[in-house]
Structure 1
């Protein structure tokens, strides 16, 4: 077995590999850029080597620099994680020439499966179902339009060497095909150093289901069941689960056997994933094979009890697989929520900055409940604009799907994160969405259910009432603390009134708080009451409350006469006022936001790639105004209505902050 391995990656996946290596008694080497000097993976590793400036194309994906780090440290093997050099055949070749083991598949398998065009042809030869498309290279945008017309819209334009949603566009007409081809080509060149593009039919109403395979160097292989990855936005997975709520045993077996046939056809060894689109009749079509460890591998580990990273290391060391297909079971249900540094209220655009508060729920494992959080950040750390915006992968396991979802709801509610925009509210909203909880979803879920973007959650009256009860009890405790001056507790308590009006989400709940030493009974004016108990104290930013014996987790912030409460995806201003103050508050005029309708504001921190218009030009609704690049993704900003450009305040190469004015209109 290896004594020392280098992890050619960063962030949560580097930390994940380090954990398993440590359990196996293997020393680890981290590499880091200028931006990651104080990163968590650097702190966790036994050694760390600096490899260059912040941009990945000057550090993490420069093969010569990684090879220098290997030579300096004497690492015997390299785990590439995912992204970066994980599917780079030249890197695998360089390692082989150096006599260093690659903890991944052979070079020939990377070349065959890493190239989506070649992999489609091999899949067809292996009698794996494939999606109709054009496998040849496409020279320019006009050829892309012609091919798209022949296939029939809608089509998917994809980078041949791509992955992780980079270099992918859906086109529904000629203009979108032309524009999508160029954007995909640019993103592919920037992210992978390979701008080849191919086009395939976009299957409507699809489910994205993938099969995890594991093969050794001795011809043995198993499939470790499937993962459902249909909750996506911009072709990037957001929530994954294992198993799929859609597959039956027969389809699972067929998909697994086809996946292994494909792996054996290219002499595959190590962990890999074969991705499929599955339609409503459970017909499945090969999409691609990812010749690496997947982001969502934890859910497979949770239902099978297998450590995929350990298997990868042992396979790379030449060991035979320690399991056969009959050993692979499905135990319970696992969920994974990807926590991203992106603002769901701004159409999920990237967010950067310092994590002023980062308190994930506690990890633990019991017979009926597991919480796991794979992360690469810490409180006080920076989220950089140079890399993928993932902060953490929060996973839960339960004996069945409903229980796993409920554990995820509670874990998300208890996840404290401040300082940047993040998608925690959206993840919570999905966990409560009836389409998701029923298992009746497709890859179009986000587009269909949130066509105008995510603007928060509207809670029903029953949930609001529970939050109102908890807020009233908490506010009474805060008022006692605030007004404490002298005397006994009993004398002090008489200074705080019992009658309040709790206002939230446009509803008002007049209540009476009847407190005792064990908790409070909140009586509503409709004659109902709720019993609230909690150990919350003023200043705590997380409140674990029981309302009528059922748990309620609230993120709590202080505002005048109340709290900012966040729970179940909702962000609420909760005011708790005396009846008289509430009456007066109804007379206060509403504060209106400033008018920015004649400005184009930068929706996220980023770099201006190009400006498509000039001062004095008339623009039409939907017309491209400029392109902003952030976290390796190009974002085209369009005109919301017809107008004339009066002033352009930014140009190509400019770095902009959120809400900085790019241009103004008459």
Structure 2
């Protein structure tokens, strides 16, 4: 019997809430947003037709508070609830409470959520259903000695995983007995904070695999369809950052086997709605079941782009009791889609979360094949209480190479200021890496490529582009100054200059041409044309007939910060005489004194302190754990010495710059 859905309450926040609102509006369904204190002015609150306050900022008081959410659904008169991803999306008790109140839950049944959402139970069902599984100890482990015994039997390295969730939360890789105690406690605590369930289990850690997942749709009449696979191997801390569809590694034979096993698991759990079956695949093509996610995935847009299927719409239709009209023969994979997750974090300083107000937010042009799912806006806040993701950029093109090139161009036009983000310092570096372009990737790709903290040397194209733009900017300033200073004539301005980029000097000759300048450097001639004006963050230009987009920002006196693709450069223009004299300028030595104070580099709450006053510590030792944006981060000792003072207690909320420890 078909049910009526006129109003949906979205039990989530950020970009996924905005995404669900978009489809609901298309279907003529009104929406209700929920928000915490931190999200009072959030984007999803303004986009929905109604909004209900559900509690204080910490998620246990708001977004994972079943009582508050159920009450909001009831008071708003919602016919249905969509949980999005994360938070309570895989909590069977939440689905039960919603349906108990006579409200439709847009997702699988509580029974299916229990069967698939509990990773331990799901492994057992998968084995019974003939699905390939990884060797492991599929019972809840809470004692260190029991964990060590299981790990020895399986064989190191092993991985601890949260039984009640995924998304990289509650996961730790263990290489030996000595690491077990600390990592087990940390994983349990992170699982508890994210899923309200501290249970974890252990399985064999497969090194250098690919992470491939199958998107399925199932209705209440046991009709199933697979919407292709997604390549999710580019991960950091077990969390995906770049996804693709389809995978260039999977052939039709492997694909059919994955489809068959995915549907077998769905049937065994009586699954309906959208779901994702995740596998790891070794270099020979052997694949093993990891988990099934009983919710919509963060990366679902790449599947939508290559199939034309609106997955949120299908979830709503299935929840209404409709039968799937899609058949497997109807699913046609067209082109290639790539998704990049834009995070509020600083790649230069170990990817620490970045919180605060977004002072400038300008999204790239949404040309055909370009999609941006965002939950932020200019003037909005990035909170320390929730996940660090700002948005997702998705592009679709006929081929993978074209998809990558389009993504690089789109990201170069994305302007986010006020907080740190991972676009130029991380995403662009991956997209430009030859191994990624060739498709030689695995889940350890990021760790291998970014193991060195040294910056990449500019290639010839990047050098020429940044040099040309620096010349344009600074010579434009000279031209502008000539109008402001009556004693200076533009025709008198010296044409010979030295561009300093990250302390490297480049002698150049600059001459005006129509709408730009001719830049001569060594034996190269660079003709740059632009309509850029001082104050604009986005610099678009044509250099020798090719179009480029860069980002520029004026910093302290005489310098511009110029970002092109995966490289950020500090640039300055000086006269040849100044360049000659600069070699006589003595730079102060860097401070080489021993670090005695440990300060917080991010906002968050102290979840554990591992040392006490008087303890001897070594460089690299864990001093405490700090939770920020739903991830637990270790506070590391920068030097060896004796703990002289501790200025924090467990449960304290700290801000960046706060003194934590004093080490002699």
**What range is the shorter-chain TM-score in?**
over 0.9
Judged with a 3 Å threshold, the aligned counterparts in structure 2 of structure 1 residues 446 and 592 are, in CA distance, closer, same or farther, namely farther
Matching of residue 189 in structure 1 with residue 192 in structure 2 = yes
Matching of residue 520 in structure 1 with residue 523 in structure 2 = no
Matching of residue 533 in structure 1 with residue 532 in structure 2 = no
Aligned to 1:567: 564
Q: Deviations over 1:596-652 (max 9, x none)?
A: 633323232222223222233211344321111111222222334432223323332
Matches within 5 A, 1:18-37: 18-37=21-40
In 2: Cα distance, 1:49 partner to 1:593 partner: 53
Aligned to 1:4: 7
CA contact (8 A) 2:135 2:203 kept: yes
Matches within 5 A, 1:408-557: 408-424=407-423, 425-452=425-452, 454=453, 456-485=455-484, 492-524=489-521, 526-557=522-553
Aligned to 1:654: 652
In 2: Cα distance, 1:522 partner to 1:634 partner: 50
Aligned to 1:584: 581
In 2: Cα distance, 1:486 partner to 1:576 partner: 19
Q: CA deviation at 1:251?
A: 1.0
CA contact (8 A) 1:426 1:456 kept: no
Q: Give the stretch that moved more between structures: 604-613 or 268-277.
A: 604-613
Aligned to 1:394: 393
Aligned to 1:379: 378
In 2: Cα distance, 1:593 partner to 1:56 partner: 43
Judged with a 3 Å threshold, the aligned counterparts in structure 2 of structure 1 residues 142 and 622 are, in CA distance, closer, same or farther, namely farther
Q: Give the stretch that moved more between structures: 477-486 or 318-327.
A: 477-486
CA contact (8 A) 1:334 1:395 kept: yes
Aligned to 2:112: 109
Q: CA deviation at 1:148?
A: 0.7
Q: Deviations over 1:166-196 (max 9, x none)?
A: 1110000112222111111111112111111
In 2: Cα distance, 1:162 partner to 1:141 partner: 21
Q: CA deviation at 1:160?
A: 0.3
Judged with a 3 Å threshold, the aligned counterparts in structure 2 of structure 1 residues 615 and 516 are, in CA distance, closer, same or farther, namely same
Q: CA deviation at 1:451?
A: 1.9
CA contact (8 A) 2:118 2:164 kept: yes
Matching of residue 293 in structure 1 with residue 291 in structure 2 = no
Matching of residue 204 in structure 1 with residue 207 in structure 2 = yes
Q: Deviations over 1:112-136 (max 9, x none)?
A: 0000011001111111100000012
In 1: Cα distance, 2:598 partner to 2:435 partner: 35
Judged with a 3 Å threshold, the aligned counterparts in structure 2 of structure 1 residues 39 and 591 are, in CA distance, closer, same or farther, namely farther
CA contact (8 A) 2:234 2:445 kept: yes
Q: Deviations over 1:318-347 (max 9, x none)?
A: 111121111111111111111111111121
In 2: Cα distance, 1:99 partner to 1:651 partner: 45
Judged with a 3 Å threshold, the aligned counterparts in structure 2 of structure 1 residues 323 and 591 are, in CA distance, closer, same or farther, namely farther
SS at match of 2:451: coil
CA contact (8 A) 1:42 1:48 kept: yes
In 1: Cα distance, 2:645 partner to 2:68 partner: 44
Matching of residue 609 in structure 1 with residue 612 in structure 2 = no
Q: Give the stretch that moved more between structures: 607-616 or 99-108.
A: 607-616
SS at match of 2:408: helix
In 1: Cα distance, 2:634 partner to 2:89 partner: 29
CA contact (8 A) 2:499 2:572 kept: yes
Q: CA deviation at 1:506?
A: 4.2
SS at match of 2:21: helix
CA contact (8 A) 1:625 1:637 kept: yes
In 2: Cα distance, 1:546 partner to 1:283 partner: 48
TM-score for the superposition, normalised by structure 1: 0.96
In 1: Cα distance, 2:415 partner to 2:456 partner: 18
SS at match of 2:427: helix
TM-score for the superposition, normalised by structure 2: 0.96
Residue 626 of structure 1: which of 602, 616, 624 is its match? 624
CA contact (8 A) 2:598 2:638 kept: no
In 2: Cα distance, 1:75 partner to 1:513 partner: 65
Judged with a 3 Å threshold, the aligned counterparts in structure 2 of structure 1 residues 505 and 107 are, in CA distance, closer, same or farther, namely same
Aligned to 1:164: 167
In 2: Cα distance, 1:20 partner to 1:342 partner: 29
Aligned to 2:97: 94
Q: Deviations over 1:475-530 (max 9, x none)?
A: 21122123313889xx9431432111112134322111121223222111x22211
In 2: Cα distance, 1:621 partner to 1:631 partner: 26
Q: Give the stretch that moved more between structures: 530-539 or 151-160.
A: 530-539
Q: Give the stretch that moved more between structures: 475-484 or 191-200.
A: 475-484
SS at match of 2:625: strand
Judged with a 3 Å threshold, the aligned counterparts in structure 2 of structure 1 residues 567 and 611 are, in CA distance, closer, same or farther, namely same
In 2: Cα distance, 1:482 partner to 1:565 partner: 21
Matches within 5 A, 1:267-416: 267-365=270-368, 370-416=369-415
In 2: Cα distance, 1:308 partner to 1:604 partner: 36
In 1: Cα distance, 2:484 partner to 2:54 partner: 59
CA contact (8 A) 1:345 1:455 kept: no
Q: Give the stretch that moved more between structures: 21-30 or 628-637.
A: 628-637
Judged with a 3 Å threshold, the aligned counterparts in structure 2 of structure 1 residues 151 and 486 are, in CA distance, closer, same or farther, namely closer
In 2: Cα distance, 1:530 partner to 1:475 partner: 16
Q: Number of residue pairs matched?
A: 658
CA contact (8 A) 2:497 2:576 kept: yes
In 1: Cα distance, 2:551 partner to 2:582 partner: 25
Q: Deviations over 1:238-287 (max 9, x none)?
A: 11111112111111121122111111111111110000000000110000
In 1: Cα distance, 2:644 partner to 2:270 partner: 61
Q: CA deviation at 1:162?
A: 1.8
RMSD: 1.7
SS at match of 1:280: coil
Judged with a 3 Å threshold, the aligned counterparts in structure 2 of structure 1 residues 270 and 592 are, in CA distance, closer, same or farther, namely farther
CA contact (8 A) 1:148 1:155 kept: yes
In 2: Cα distance, 1:657 partner to 1:587 partner: 42
